[in-house]
Structures are given as C-alpha cells and as structure tokens.
Structure 1
Amino acid sequence: MAVARTIVLRKLAAQARTRHELARALAARQVPEDVAQSVLERFEAVGLVDDATFARDWVESRQQRRHLSKSALRRELQTKGVDRDHIDAAVSHVDGGDETAAAQALAEKKLRTVVGLPREVQYRRLAGALARRGFSGSITASVLGPLLDASADADEADEPLMPG
C-alpha cells in the first residue's frame, strides 16, 4: 500500500494526472489491482485525483497555449481516460468565439512561415495547420480569408511604387 501511495504521489507531484493514467502507472509497477483501487479511491476522496477538474483545467490550458479545437481537446482527454461526461462538461465551456480566437491566433502565428508564397499556397498550408488541430472548414475559412486579405494589403503597402 505504501509503495502504491508513493508512486501516485510522485506522479501527481510532477503534474496533474487522471485516475486512468495513475491506474496504468500502478499496473506497470505490478501493484495488485485491489491495492491500486483502494489507493486511488482514497486519493479521490481527499481531492488529489479529480478527473472533472483535470478535464476543465486541461481544456483551458491547452486551448490557450496550443490553440486546439473542441474536437482535438476531446480526443486528448479521451486518450487520457477521462469519462465522457467530464469531457462534455469541460468542452462545453469552449464557445464558438473561443474556438475562432484560437484558430485566429494559430493562423497568425503560422502566417510568418508562409509570407512571400502565393496566396493559394499560403491558404493551403495554413488550412492544413488548422485542420491538424481539429478546426472545421467553416472556422478555417472564416479566419483565413480576412487574415490573408489583411496580409496582402500590408504587403502592397510595403512595396515601393514603380516610376511611371
């Protein structure tokens, strides 16, 4: 029992974890199933393991720093073993405006890497980056059109006028 508690505490000291992740860590260290369940239930009872809070914090953090869509956030939480109800509750806090803002921030960041390329290439590469983060085609179109228009207008303003 003490070994199991130590394993869980070390994992939690490094970063927040889901019950599923901790159960896998205990299983990997050959902790008996009944001991693992007992320790995990105790950690849940005292609030050190809370999948609902983990999911909410994960969504907030990942959307701000990694600019992920709802679907990408949902997939990540599923791979961490979070229950569907907790995932739904956490992702419900992300509204369309938040998702569009995340797509906008990612597109602006990636725009620097495609400056100077033809517009259709810029669009294709930026759309691919957004798609890989799980953004829908409608969000992608709503973000990239105005962004590339503004970028083109800025480029034209920087070009020196040709003598006539």
Structure 2
Amino acid sequence: KRRFRGSCWTALTDVGGERLRVAWTSASVAFVDDAKPATKRMMERRMKMRLVDRPLPAAIRTALVNARKRPGGDDVPIDLSWARDFERDVLLAARTIPWGKTRPYSWLAREARRPLAVRAAASIIAREPLWLLVPWHRVIYKDGKATRPGGPKGKAELLARERRAR
C-alpha cells in the first residue's frame, strides 16, 4: 500500500460561503472537502497519517477562492502523493479536460492507461476528495448523461457557467 511521506496540515476555512476542510503539504493542496467532523478522519485514513491543525496559508486560501470562481481549479497545484497509481492517473486525466467540454468515463479510464477499468474510474471520481480542484462535472456517461456526484442539474450548471466564461 502507498503511504504518504512528509508533513501534512489541515484547517477549516470559508470559501465562497461554504465551510471547507483543507489539507495541504509543503508541495500543494492534498484534499479539499466539506467541514464535517468525519472529514478529517477520512483524510487521515486515506493519507495514513495524522494531520496537524494549522492556520491556512493565505496563498492556498486565495487559490481556493479563485478555483471557486473558475470551477475545476485546473491551475491550482495538487499533491497526489497519497493516492494509488490508478487513482492519481484518473484525477490527473480529469484535470486535462478542457473548460466547458466533457469526456466519458471510458475516456478517463483509457487516459489512465486502464481502458477496461471504466467503473473503477467512475468510482474514483464519485469519491474524489479534491472536487473543488478536479473537474468532476466534466465527466459523464458515454451516452451524454450526467451522473453523480452533482447530478445532471449540478453538472449542467457548472458546464454552462464554464461555456459562458470562455
């Protein structure tokens, strides 16, 4: 099993009116998720280490605020050293989907070099902890239907917003 090496910190912050828990390393953002008490435990379990509470650096907060304005956070560096190889490859592939465009889960699996692992790729997107920085809303079924997370309406709203901003 992959084990994260190095230090990782966590903080609660408000971004665009939403309370979030953020975990970061010396390299970049590792997780962004809701502020529920269980979130920190989930992050620690996935990283296989204890997270230290610390004030969020201003640069990271600014990057998250900007990502909130521009869905997908494509330009914010992320640290996926905690992820297994396929999980990392899926998340990085999702970040290459252009603004306002969509790709099917089968494309995502191919890009991650496991073309038959379509369901596994979908599962990774469904539970990915960087939803503010990895454009989950750009991944759909090959028949064009949107899926969870976000559902059809949520994904359609984000994609429409991206298309208007292009």
Same fold (TM over 0.5): no
Structure number with higher helix proportion: 1
Q: Which has the larger radius of gyration?
A: 1
Provide the TM-score with structure 1 as the length reference.
0.27
